[in-house]
């Protein structure tokens, strides 16, 4: 009896004579796109210090993933959003109450934004505590500081887009704060508002920043940041500790597990605390109680204690210290070679910020 066509095909495919030889394909590919795939494989297989396993929750891969979620949900929201005060409010209401699963996409975008900021802070604290900003990684730190500012600007411009009371007054207060910057303050305020008042022009600018300038800046900065991380390799905190894990599969699997927990958390938060539209913006009526998002609460508290230009100078000093910390640290190391003053000062500042957020959130 003759062999059935299907089993004949299977036998032929399994036969060693038809083994697939991809050498030609690889060569043709490499001729056109000359990437050395073995280098990519080396990068993926590179060993990393074992201590990093404990701080997977503060690894850079988590903000990277959350940024991906923001990009996808942000594009979906932009299909329905209109950047003009009255129309903005109505379009957000339509997304939340009319568009199928609109509330869900909006909720994911909102919660994921908050977690993105939280995990960027945790990542920064980890790299700070382990002195990863020290020579030769000063520029990795600088790009990181840039990323921190881009991330909080994303947050600020994002919640100003809704067109409700909080959006409007947050835009007023935020731009007023910028107006206190010595010398250039009033130009900055005019530039941010697109005039002297918060109007439709302000919203158009915030939308351009939120949907164009910030995503492009973040993508560029992340690119440079990650290339620098790759060129320098991971920080070895203790040169005597030679214990290592593999980037692939150990660290990747750890990060994927953390990411799954984060995804579950985002879904639970979105379902339990779905987004609301709030009260429509009324510029002529200042609300009794207005508070910024949690990550700005400490700035808000500080500027209430030390208002005006002095407060602004204090904030600018803080920002300058963050930017130039790799060099400030060198001076501190010279002053105190035994005790790590950076960790002492960093811990004090981090505790003050946490207490200020807590105090502003629950007592005022």
Q: Give the binding site for ligand HEM (CB under 6 A).
A: 59-61, 63-64, 67, 120, 123-124, 127, 132-133, 137, 140-141, 144-145, 147-148, 151, 222, 225-226, 229, 234-235
Q: Which one, 59 or 281, has the nearer CB to ligand HEM?
A: 59
Length of the chain: 364
Q: How far is the CB of 75 from ligand HEM (least distance, A)?
A: 18
For ligand HEM, give the closer residue by CB, 140 or 157: 140
Q: Could you tell me the smallest distance in angstroms from the CB atom of residue 202 to ligand HEM?
A: 26
Please state whether the peptide bond connecting residue 152 to the residue before it is cis, i.e. omega within 30 degrees of 0.
no
133 or 169, CB closer to ligand HEM?
A: 133
CB of 171 to ligand HEM, least distance (A): 24
Residues near 250 by Cβ (< 8 Å), separated by ≥ 6? 53
Which among 97, 147, 153 has a CA at the least distance from the CA of 120?
Answer: 147
Smaller CB separation from ligand HEM, 154 or 169: 154
Least Å distance, CB 262 to ligand HEM, is 14
CA distance 347 to 14: 63
Cβ closest to ligand HEM, residue 94 vs residue 134? 134
Peptide bond into 249 cis (omega under 30): yes
Give start and end residues of each alpha helix (H) in the chain. Answer: 5-14, 23-32, 37-45, 61-78, 85-97, 102-129, 138-159, 165-179, 185-193, 200-208, 214-232, 252-272, 297-305, 308-323, 325-335, 341-363
Locate 169 and state its tokens. Answer: 């007054």
- Tokens encoding 346: 């960093």
Q: Name the residue nearer to ligand HEM (CB basis): 133 or 168.
A: 133
Output the smallest distance, CB 17 to ligand HEM, in A. Answer: 46
Supply the angle between the helices 214-232 and 61-78 in degrees, to the nearest 10: 160
Shortest CB 249 distance to ligand HEM, Å: 16
What number of other Cβ atoms are within 10 A of residue 143's Cβ?
Answer: 20
Question: Nearest distance from residue 337's CB to ligand HEM, in Å?
Answer: 22
Give the residue at shortest CB distance from ligand HEM: 60
Nearer to ligand HEM, 92 or 147 (CB): 147
Alpha carbons 187 and 303: distance in angstroms, whole number: 21
Residue 131: CB minimum distance to ligand HEM, A: 9
Give which of 98, 92, 104, 225 is closest to 158, Cα–Cα: 92
Minimal distance in Å, beta carbon 193 to ligand HEM?
A: 27
C-alpha 211/C-alpha 246 separation (Å) is 37
Tokens (6 digits) for 198: 């918060």
Give the Cα separation of 222 and 199 in Å (integer).
Answer: 33
Cβ distance to ligand HEM smaller for residue 49 or 301 = 49
Provide the angle, in degrees to the nearest 10, between the axes of the packed helices 102-129 and 138-159: 150
State which residue, 57 or 190, has the beta carbon closest to ligand HEM.
57
Tell me the angle at which helices 325-335 and 341-363 cross, rounded to the nearest 10 degrees. Answer: 120
């Amino acid at each position: 009896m003759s062999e059935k066509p299907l089993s004949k095909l299977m036998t032929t495919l399994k036969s060693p004579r038809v083994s697939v030889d991809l050498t030609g394909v690889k060569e043709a590919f490499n001729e056109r796109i000359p990437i050395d795939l073995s280098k990519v494989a080396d990068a993926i297989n590179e060993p990393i210090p074992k201590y990093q396993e404990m701080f997977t929750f503060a690894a850079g891969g988590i903000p990277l993933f959350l940024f991906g979620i923001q990009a996808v949900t942000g594009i979906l929201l932009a299909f329905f959003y209109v950047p003009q005060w009255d129309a903005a409010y109505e379009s957000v209401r339509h997304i939340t109450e009319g568009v199928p699963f609109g509330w869900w996409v909006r909720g994911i975008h909102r919660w994921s934004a908050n977690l993105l900021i939280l995990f960027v802070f945790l990542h920064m604290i980890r790299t700070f505590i382990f002195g990863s900003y020290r020579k030769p990684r000063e520029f990795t730190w600088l790009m990181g500081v840039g990323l921190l500012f881009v991330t909080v600007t994303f947050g600020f411009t994002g919640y100003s887009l809704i067109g409700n009371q909080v959006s409007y007054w947050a835009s007023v207060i935020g731009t007023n704060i910028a107006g206190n910057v010595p010398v250039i303050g009033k130009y900055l305020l005019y530039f941010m508002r697109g005039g002297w008042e918060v109007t439709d022009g302000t919203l158009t600018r915030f939308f351009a920043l939120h949907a164009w300038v910030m995503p492009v800046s973040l993508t560029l900065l992340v690119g440079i940041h990650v290339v620098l991380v790759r060129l320098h390799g991971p920080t070895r905190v203790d040169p005597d500790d030679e214990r290592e894990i593999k980037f692939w599969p150990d660290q990747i699997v750890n990060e994927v597990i953390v990411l799954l927990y984060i995804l579950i958390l985002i879904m639970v938060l979105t379902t339990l605390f779905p987004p609301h539209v709030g009260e429509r913006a009324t510029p002529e009526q200042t609300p009794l109680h207005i508070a910024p998002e949690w990550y700005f609460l400490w700035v808000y508290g500080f500027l209430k204690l030390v208002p005006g230009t002095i407060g602004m100078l204090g904030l600018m000093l803080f920002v300058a210290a963050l930017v130039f910390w790799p060099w400030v640290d060198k001076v501190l190391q010279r002053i105190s070679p035994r005790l790590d003053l950076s960790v002492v000062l960093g811990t004090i500042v981090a505790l003050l910020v946490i207490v200020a957020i807590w105090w502003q959130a629950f007592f005022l």
